[in-house]
Amino acid sequence: MKISVIGTGYVGLVTGTCFAEMGNTVTCVDIDQQKIDNLKKGIIPIYEPGLEEMVLANHKKGTLNFSTDIKAALENTTICFIAVGTPMGEDGSADLQYVLAVAKSIGTHMTHHMYVVDKSTVPVGTAEKVRQAIQAELDTRQSTLTFDVISNPEFLKEGAAIDDFMKPDRVVIGADNKNAEEVMHRLYAPFTKSHDRFIAMDIKSAEMTKYTANAMLATKISFMNEIANICERVGADVNKVRIGIGSDRRIGYSFIYPGCGYGGSCFPKDVQALAKTSKDFGYTPRILDAVEAVNYDQKSVLSNKVVARFGEDLSGKTFAVWGLAFKPETDDMREASAITIINELTQRGAKVQAYDPKARHEAESHYLKGNASVTYTDGKYDALKGADAMILVTEWKEFRSPDFDEMKALLKTSVIFDGRNQYDRAQMENLGFEYFQIGV
């Protein structure tokens, strides 16, 4: 099939690349000329395992193309995915200005029947707004062209997005007619050959499914972090509690690991957007509000432990921070706990020596730009040199089995604050570390 994908961010680039991998002809469109020029040169704007190789291979074959010309892209495609950003507005709602701007462009430039697919994460009712925006432009043109609007939410995990797209748990499609549903079924058939995971439903239910999935996962995280905070106060070990409840198949082990809060481009934004939608329709979402509140506080748990150990005034203290990205296998720092932790420490006078295998550029150029109290190192051990303590924020694989003897030799004091409960407490204490975890 011939496909256009509008937006070459995380979702758009993965979507377009994976469709091209299956033999479709794809044009990815973006208004950012520099980004498009870089993509044509093989420079990928994000880190995602396996993505660069797949982009380069399909671009070389001619099945994956990049352009800033939406008019030309639409002339040659019948299915158009909208995959632009929906940033969080000041009131917590999803900002739809970019989605609706694309819809307007589609209405302006389309020359034949089109299937317009909402791939961006959008609140319930967005498909109708997209429909209205396209139709308004067609009416202005006095055109009788027809189109379908379809909801196809993405369920990609950063760090495993290629695998998630190529071997999906499910493909959710919201359509209002069988023909549109069938077109999408044919498009996704190569991805679901071993098991038919195609789930068709009405458009509003499809839009709601995406938010509900992310809100449910965020709820599990905040719930477990709340249990961790209770465990600390009553003298229980949340790591043992996690094993005890995870063995119940009704609960399972996924997303019940205590830590220093969730971040990223999805959970924080989607929980708040769903809560805002709920309130707009006259319902107060008490659980969603609590999930967000718990997560907000959880991002300060590690810095609070540091202050309890070293005092409110951290002048003259240096802390090594391992991990900046919101999770391993990505360079994404949006809403990352490391931002909160580092800013809270440096505001108290501390200096920070930070290491992350992928997110350093994001920190330096954007998220911690201007914080003169932060320096960056090329290796994890370099960050420890002369530091008063190490703070583990992101659970990268290379942090799982470090050389603890070397760590002790490099640290000024053998103190570790573990925000992801990566190490065994008894072992750390036997090694002579003063060891702080979450929920113990």
The residue among 96, 95, 112 whose CA lies nearest residue 104 is 96
* Helix, coil or strand: residue 95: coil
Residues near 154 by beta carbon (within 8 Å), at least 6 away in sequence: 11, 15, 119, 121, 210
* Stated length of the chain: 440
Q: Which amino acid is at 423?
A: Y
The residue among 391, 369, 406 whose CA lies nearest residue 322 is 391
| Selected catalytic residue, list 18, 28, 231, 266 | 266
CB of 155 closer than 8 Å to CB of 169? yes
Beta pairing partners, 173: 200
CB of 10 closer than 8 Å to CB of 46? yes
DSSP one-letter string for 56-86: HHHHHHTSEEEES-HHHHHHT-SEEEE----
Both structure tokens of 310: 């070293």
Residues near 95 by beta carbon (within 8 Å), at least 6 away in sequence: 86, 87, 88, 89
DSSP one-letter string for 150-187: EE----PPTTSHHHHHHS-S-EEEE-SSHHHHHHHHHH
The DSSP letter of residue 335 is: T
Task: State the Cα–Cα distance between residues 110 and 114, nearest whole angstrom.
Answer: 8
Identify whether 266 is a catalytic site residue: yes
CB atoms within 10 A of CB 34: 10
Name the CA dihedral angle for 300, 268, 172, 67, rounded to a multiple of 10 degrees.
-120
Task: State the Cα–Cα distance between residues 398 and 22, nearest whole angstrom.
Answer: 33
**Helices 286-298 & 203-234 angle (0-180, nearest 10):** 50
List residues with catalytic annotation. Answer: 266
